[in-house]
Structure formats: C-alpha cells, structure tokens
Structure 1
Amino acid sequence: MTKRHITNLACGTALCGALLGAAPASAAHHVHLVHPGESIQKAVDAARPGDTVLVLPGTYRESVKVTKSGLTLRGMGPGTVLQPAKKAKATKKSAAAQKSCAEMGNGICVVGTKSKPVENVTVARMTVTGFSRTGVMAVGTANLNVHGVAAVKNGQWGIAEERAVHSTYRDNVARNNGDAGLFLANSVTAEKGATDTAGTVVEHNLLEGNRIGVTVRRLRNLTVADNSVTGNCAGVFVVGDENKPKAGKITVTGNQVVKNNKYCPKTARLAFLQGSGIVLTGTENTLVSRNLVTGNSGKSPLSGGVVIFKSFVGATSDKNSVTDNSLSGNAPADLVNQEATKHGNAFKGNTCKKSKPAGLC
C-alpha cells in the first residue's frame, strides 16, 4: 500500500463521499489516487477487482490497458487528459494481436478474451485525445460502462467496441474523430453474421464533427436513444451485410440528428458521405421512432433524412419500421426508401414534406 492509497471507500472524507458514493466497510475496496507525473498504468496494475483508480486533473502521456474485472478508472472531469506518449515503447512480440495498447494507437484498452470476458469495468470522467487509432477501445467485455468521457481528435474512432455484450455508453462527447465517434461491431476485422449484444445502450451522448456520429455494425438487440448528433458527414449508421443473421432488432429513438453536412470522401467500403441523417442498410426488424431529423442535405447516394439504403454488397433491408419521426429540410428527401416494396419496410406517422418515392410522408 502506498502513501497515496486510500484504504476504504467508507473513509468518510469529502473526496470519497462526493466522487465515489457510500460503500460498506466490509467491501474493503480501495481507491488508488494518481497525481500528475505518476503512472496510471501502475495504479491499474496494482488495483484489485472492485477497486477504483482515481486520476486527478492534469495531462498524462500514456496508454492504459485494463484486463481485470470489476475495476473503475475515473478522472475528475475534462481536466483529466490522456494523450499519447511521445514515443510508444515497443514490446518483444511483434504480432499485431500481441502489440500493446499504445502500439495499436489506442488511449484506453479494456481487453478480455473470447473465453473469459472482462466484466463490470467502468471508464469515466476524462478526456482522451490525439491517439492515432481509438480513444477508448473495448474488446471482449461484458457490462462495460463508459460515461462522461470526451473522446476528441482521435485518428479513427472516438470510442469503440467489438465482441462485447451489455455495454452502456452514456453522457459522453465524441468530437472530430477520423471515422465514427462511437463505433460498435461484432468484429472489427471478420466478415460474419451479426451477434446479440444482450441489450447494449447508447444514450445521451454528443456526437459532433466525426465522419459518422455512431455506427452500429453487424449487431442485434441494441438501443441508440436520446443522443445529439450534429455536424458529422453522416449521423447514425446501422449496417448489416450478406451474412446471417442480419443486423437487426435495434431501436433508434429520441435522437436529435441535425445538419450532418460535413463532406467526407469515398472509401473502399462506401461512397462519399454528406447529408445523411439516419441510414439503415442490410438490417431487419429495426425501429426508427420519435427522432428529430432536420437539415441533413447532400448529393451522396446515402443522403437524406432517414434512408433505407440498398446495400453495395446486395444485402436487403427487411421489415424495418420508421414511425412517428419529425423530419424537415433534408435533401434529397426527408424519407428515402431504396428497397423494393416486397421487403416490407413500413413508414407510418412521420411528419415530413418530401419522400423518395413519393407517398411515404
């Protein structure tokens, strides 16, 4: 135990009470306090399941890897800043899967295995910025909780996960990241059918200035709710492909999707993006309801307010419901359905002026 090791959550000090809440003395959970100039990773390595690593305001130039269940990594708000080290230290093993979190270009990595996920980890109340790949990356997790994190100006994703179940992403800011502000997928690399997230929730986040605000790729049983999505090239992407099962049983509700009109050039996977509000492609049984979708305007094949897009790889979108949304000022139209009527996509109760084809409003 170090001199900066607070030995009990029920210590009775104002710091413990205000930031961490009450806990019974019998829990014997500890708070590891990290000051500027000290190593967050050393505190994480010293912590045991149930402990909290509390990082004081300051700039910390390192990457942090969490592989223990039940750990909380918490800053003191936006003033706790994690940035890349000036030069990532090389490891002896060179295979990509064996590289360190820093070598992979990530800020915070929460990592389990296929057979043993890391469970009940919380990452909260800090800024993660300037990493070449991802601000916060989770692989092989269960019951992950990320809240109050600002993921800013990272090269690829602000916050991302793969092979994860029952995650919660709440009250985060993902701004000016190279690809998606929030990216959730069954697998980052493998082409395979969608997996069940067991109820992952993405809610009350601000997603601004990214290529895509939030991408949900090859997943099922997930909710995207009450987020503010603005100034991206595209707002919300729900993406499947030709594999089975399809992406689906996803709810997109209560979001404000406004003026996502930034221009992003085409990639190997997609045409150029501009002016896309909410896009469904290769999905089934997805509900898009009670969203405010305004001012998304562009000439991309995916432009429009709510767009059911005919996939480039030939995957159809089937039996999706677009209901009770408020849409205005989107171009080429507020509602766009590129699928044939036989696929059973329904548009009901929406407030809008223009649709393609006509008659969906």
Structure 2
Amino acid sequence: MLMLSSLLVGALLVNAGARAADIIVKPGQAIQDAVTRAKAGDTILVEPGIYKETVYIDKDDITLRGVIRASQWPTLEGEKIRNDAVLYSGSGITVENLKIVNYKGNGIMGQAGNNFVIRNNWIIDAGIYGIFPEFGKNGLIEHNVLSGIEDAAIYVGMCDNVDVLHNEVFDSVAGIEIENSRHQIVDGNYVHDNTGGILAFITPGLPIKTAYDIIIRNNFVVNNNHVNFAIPGSIVSFVSKGTGITIMAADDVVVENNIITDNEFIGIGIAGLEFISAVRSDPDSEPNADRVQILNNLMWNNGTNALPQVMEPLKAAMPGIKGVDIANLGQGKGGCILEKDRYVSVGLDNYSKCELTSTADTLTYTLAEPVPVRQIAAGEKGKAAYFGICAGCHAYSVKMIGPPTVVVKALYQGRPEALAEYIANPVKKRPDYPEMPPQNYISAEVRLEVAKYMLSVEK
C-alpha cells in the first residue's frame, strides 16, 4: 500500500493537466536544447545513448524522462571534467530513468525547486552528492540506485515534506543524509556498505536552523563499514566507519522496524553537536537530540569496534559482550525506547519506555496539493540564491564542501563585484577544498546580488 501511495503522490506533485507535448532527444542531440524549447507541462524523452553535457532546468512543470530499451539506458557522462549532470530550479520537475556517471559535483541537484520527483535513476561516481535537493518543499525520491559518492548518496538539505523511499545506496561515505530538514520519511531503503548508513542531523551555520519530525523506518541498514573517503574537515569526514544510523541534534526522530546489522562502530548513535569538537556551535540551533523514539527494530552484530569509552564500561558490567547496538552520547531530553532489554545499549538511562505505537498510519509527508510556485521579489534574489545554491556547500562558520562564509567575507568584504566574478569563473586555490563548479548559468544580476547577500550574512 505504501508503494502505491508513493506513486500516487508522485503523480500529484506535477501538474499533469498542463502536459503539452513530448520532445524526443536522440544520441548526437543535446538534452539542453530540448529544455530550451520545452514549455510548462512538456515531457523530454531521452533515447538510449551517451550524452556529454550538463542539463539545467530553470522552468516549471517539466519532466525529464529517460527511455530504457533492452537494458540500454540514456547515460549522462561527466568524463570527470563536468561538475553537474542535472540541475533544476523550477517547480514541478520530474527526473527519471537516467544513468549518470563520472561527474565531479552532483548527479541531480535541486536549487530551491519545489514539488519535485526524482526516481528510477542509476547514479555511479557522480562526485560529492548523488541526489541533492536543496531548500525545496514537497518532494519524492524513490527507486534510485546510487554508489561511489564521496559525501552523501542522497542528501536532503534544508527541505520540508520529502519522502525518501525504496532506494539502494552503497559504496559511498553517507548513504542517506537528512540535514536541517523537517517532516521527512526515510522508508524501505537498502543502505549498505557505506561509511555511515542513515544520518539525521543539524549542521550549524546554515540558514535553516532546525531538523525535526523525521521517520526512519523499514530500512535495511547493513554492513556500513566502508573507509571514509570524504573531503577532510567536512561534516561527514567525522562519520566513523561502521555507523548504521546517526542522529545528531535532530529532534522528534522515530526509528522503527529497521533491520540494522553488522555495522562495526554502532548500530544507532545519538549525540549532540558537542560530539564533533571541530564543529562550532550556532546560537540559533538547539544542540541536543530531543524526543528521539526508538521503537521496534531488529539489530545484531553491531558495535564490535565501538569507542573505548562506550565498550569499556559495558565489558566491565557485562563480561563477554562483543558489541553495542545503541549508544547515546548526548544530553537530549524526552527520549524513549521500546523493549530496551532486547539491545546492548549505553547512555539510555534517561530514556523512558515508549508507548506501544507505530508510524504506519503516516503514509507520506508529501502534500496533497502542490506548493505554489516560489515568488521571489526583486530585492530577494540574492537571498534566494544563497539559500538554494550557496548553502549547499557553505555554512557560516563550519567547513562543508566549500570554505565557511566567514572566510569568504574576510576575503571579499567590500568587493562584491570580485566575488560575483569568482562565482562565474572560479579558480582552484586551496588544496584542502575541491574545485568549485562555475555558476555561470546564473545571470550576472543574480550573481552580484548573491555576492552582496553572502557578504552581509551574520550567522
């Protein structure tokens, strides 16, 4: 029933009544040319073949759909020289049935686009993020397969009302990452052989300061023991090899009916922002993971290589113990656990017993009606671009993929024109950060406005 409901929800996210025409793209033609010709409601059908380009969709109600025949896929090939495969900023965008390989930045990235559907895509070695909706609302990410991503295979950043359903993610640093987002369902995914499986957390210094109301259920979280190959100093570079589910500073997270096995560092880890000493606090982000609910889950053979401060007291109290399923290292309040004695755990003394309950009646967090198209006033263009694009790589005082905003301000304060030029034509200057992708698809006016806004940000 849940799978059926997700398909129905996906149909609701796009204004199907606006569909006007099919535009067919064949090998040797450019997908971007089809996007340029497309009108609201059109479907772009990409035939099997190799397409060496970046596709940018800045219109509303467009479907980009690959045509798969006899196991032959339409393949976007980055050749490790292109940064992004698909970027969209429009509302009502669907991206499906594409194979994406060998990009340096992102496989599919949403830049403040609402009412999105990303499904049935096969993404391999697409750079830093595989599927990355940023600052969007009302989205569905389902039935995608992703591997070889050096930050997060699926990264939901600063989004509301998103369902992440029935995906397979493996051989990446983070499998599924819910960051500074609210009203999220992560359900029915196969998350294996990553450094960390599923993460729900707050990154301090982003424009959205909270993460809450997150359901993590019915997932297979297995053998996430891959070596961490993230960019040194980034948030996910601190994820320990062997982590199943991590909850850091996110509130009202429910963990239910997951199978969590063979994660050598921890099955479920709960912490506040103090757990990562290199992460500076944000006075507007409450640092603890409050009201976490751990309901029925099947767990075994986790935590066989846990932190000494976790294992040593356990071994003293329980001789012969080989691992730990759940560790709470934070100061969060209001947490509860159902049938605590089923698991080997530490730090749950302040957790009460959960009532016998379930999230099964919550079928989706997507909305019954599409979110209205985002209206951006003339004076708000810089802020919108900062939220939808820049904040994907820059936090105020925390190292993400790019340098902290405070560093950018120190370099360019009083020189927004110089920053706008760098945004369009960046040059790699520092070995501890990856090359910044050119943002020359953004108009000169918006580049200048976002430069001014970035230099004015105070937190």
TM-score, normalisation: structure 2 = 0.61
Report deviation, 1:58.
Answer: 0.6
Matches within 5 A, 1:193-342: 197=160, 199-241=161-203, 245-264=209-228, 267-268=232-233, 269=235, 270-271=237-238, 273-297=240-264, 303-311=265-273, 312=276, 313=279, 315-331=287-303, 332=306, 333-340=324-331
User: Displacement of 1:349 after TM fit?
Assistant: 3.2
Distance in 2 (alpha carbons) for counterparts of 1:351 and 1:208: 31
Map 1:8-157 to 2 at 5 A: 29-77=20-68, 79-84=73-78, 105-111=83-89, 118-157=90-129
Match of 2:36, SS state, is helix
Q: Which has the higher helix share?
A: 2
CA deviations 1:91-115 (Å, max 9, x no partner) are: xxxxxxxxxxx5xx1100002xxxx
Cα distance in structure 2, aligned partners of 1:351 and 1:34 = 58
Aligned equivalents of 1:142 and 1:211: distance in 2?
Answer: 27
**CA–CA distance in structure 2, aligned partners of residues 346 and 130 of structure 1:** 43
More strand by share: 1
CA separation in 1, counterparts of 2:98 and 2:215? 28
Higher relative contact order (CA closer than 8 Å, sequence separation 6+): 2
Alignment match, 1:16: none
Residue by residue over 1:127-169, the C-alpha shift from the partner in whole angstroms, topping out at 9 and shown as x without a partner, is: 0111100011111111100110111101201111111001100
Unaligned runs of at least 5 residues, structure 2: 1-10, 12-16, 282-286, 307-323, 354-459
Shift of 1:358: 7.2
- The unaligned stretches of length 5 or more in structure 1 are 1-19, 21-25, 88-101, 112-117, 187-195, 298-302
Q: For 2:54, give the aligned amino acid.
A: S
Q: Which residue of 2 aligns with 1:94?
A: none
The CA distance in 2 between the partners of 1:132 and 1:180, in whole Å, is 13
Tell me the number of residue pairs that the alignment of Structure 1 and Structure 2 aligns: 299
1:284 Cα shift? 0.9
Q: Residues 338-349 of structure 1: matches in 2 within 5 Å?
A: 338-340=329-331, 343-349=333-339
SS at match of 2:156: strand
Q: CA shift at 1:317, angstroms?
A: 1.1
Give 1:271 shift.
2.4
How far 1:49 sits from its partner (Å)?
Answer: 0.7
1:129 counterpart letter in structure 2 = V
Note closer, same or farther for the CA distance 1:272–1:182 as it changes in structure 2 (3 Å cut).
closer
Residue 357 of structure 1 and its aligned partner are, at CA, apart by: 3.7
Q: 1:225 to 1:355 in 2, by over 3 A?
A: same
What TM-score comes out, normalization by structure 1 length?
A: 0.77
Q: Percent identity?
A: 24
Runs of 4+ off more than 3 Å = 241-245, 349-353, 357-361
Distance 1:153 1:319, change over 3 A: same
Q: Give the Cα separation in 1 of the matches to 2:29 and 2:294.
A: 51
